[in-house]
Homo-oligomer: A and B are copies of this chain.
Amino acid sequence: MYDEFAKIDWLKERFSRGTVPFSEVIVGIGDDAAVIDFGGRPAIVTVDAQVEDVHFRRELISYRELGRRAVIAAASDVWAMASTPRGAVVALTLPDAFTDADFRELIEGIAEASQLTGARIIGGNLSHGRLLSITTTVFGLPSEKAITRDGARPGDRVYVTGELGAAALGLAILEAGASSHEHAESFITRWRRPPTHGLVVEELARTATAAVDISDGCLQDLQHVCAASGVGAVVHASDLPMAPGHGEICAALGLDPVELALTGGEDYELLFTAPTDVEVHLPSTSIGAIIEGREVRVLDDEGQPIQLGRTGYRHFS
């Protein structure tokens, strides 16, 4: 299958054999973010794009929330490296119909996220285009050390912050136009306003052997960690944290609650692994364990493997 991740593998290979010497690169293509060192402290660099009709539809989110979301989605990759966002450059593509008021709302959202993340907006690019898009490059500094995806070891526990599938369920509620459930608004908010993790990065650096942010879906992001670390994992479906109302609303919308928790994208929660003898002080839930091998399995209450219809969000599938 030639898809997004196949492309990334190919890119990783293609650019690893580049003959441009660059000793400053500590971590390159394939992790949440790159780590570079210009002779001072190592710096973290990551880029994320939010493209109209791919990542959002304009009628489902305000411009202010959209701007906020774009920066937080990019900062999320920095937090997942146990690092603190410090600066960002933002490239905007603005369609014809975009008014001054729209622009200012979008920028106020970006400014709000700049405050929330600590990423000062230091530059950018404006261009015209048929569709609205926001491409954010965020720079950060690691706390104690940068946590990459490749440090998970057999025996480690697998943890996630927050609840799973909440953002995807919020989007599903919006798309179905079904917001009558008492918890519906809180799911919608989870999609529109992803969480920040600035307060936990130091603890993450002390605790985690590997970390990733959950943007493609818990299972797929766990698979990224396993592939990078050369390990497998077991996830217990009954341990997956889900927000109040998750099951009921899924039932009403004809969605499988466990599948949504495992595969719903854009939670922007953190998934990390830690040895069993390390006390975990981060607000998080243990959902499984790292094992030998390469396989990632999900087990039901009886310990039987669950087959899922899909493994998460991916482009070009």
Contact = CB atoms under 8 A, between A and B. Distances in A.
A287 interface: no
A20 to B, nearest CB: 5
A36 B87 CA distance: 9
- How many copies the complex holds: the figure is 2
Interface string A127-155: 11111010101010100000000000000
A94 B94 CA distance: 18
Contacts of A90: 47
Given A107-B14, A131-B129, A315-B128, A20 B123 contact: no
A123 B29 contact: yes
Contacts of A40: 37-41
How many interface residues does chain A have, given as a range?
A: 35 or more
Contact of A20 (B19, B22, B118): B118
A220 to B, nearest CB: 14
Interface string A86-106: 110111011000001001000
A131 to B, nearest CB: 6
A145 B200 CA distance: 38
A229 to B, nearest CB: 19
A280 interface: no
Given A22-B87, A45-B89, A103 B29 contact: no
Interface string A208-247: 0000000000000000000000000000000000000000
Contacts of A39: 40-41
A8 interface: yes
Contact of A91 (B33, B53, B135): B135
Interface in A2-22: 2, 4, 7-8, 11, 14-15, 18-20, 22
B20 A115 contact: yes
A119 B20 contact: yes
A36 B89 CA distance: 12
A4 B22 CA distance: 35
Given A18-B120, A89-B137, A122-B22, A54 B129 contact: yes
A305 interface: no
A128 to B, nearest CB: 4
Given A45-B89, A54-B93, A91-B135, 9 more contacts: A11-B124, A15-B111, A15-B122, A22-B86, A34-B122, A47-B123, A47-B124, A51-B129, A53-B130
The 9 A-B residue pairs whose C-beta atoms are closest, nearest first, are: A40-B40, A39-B40, A22-B120, A34-B122, A34-B123, A137-B137, A135-B135, A128-B315, A47-B89
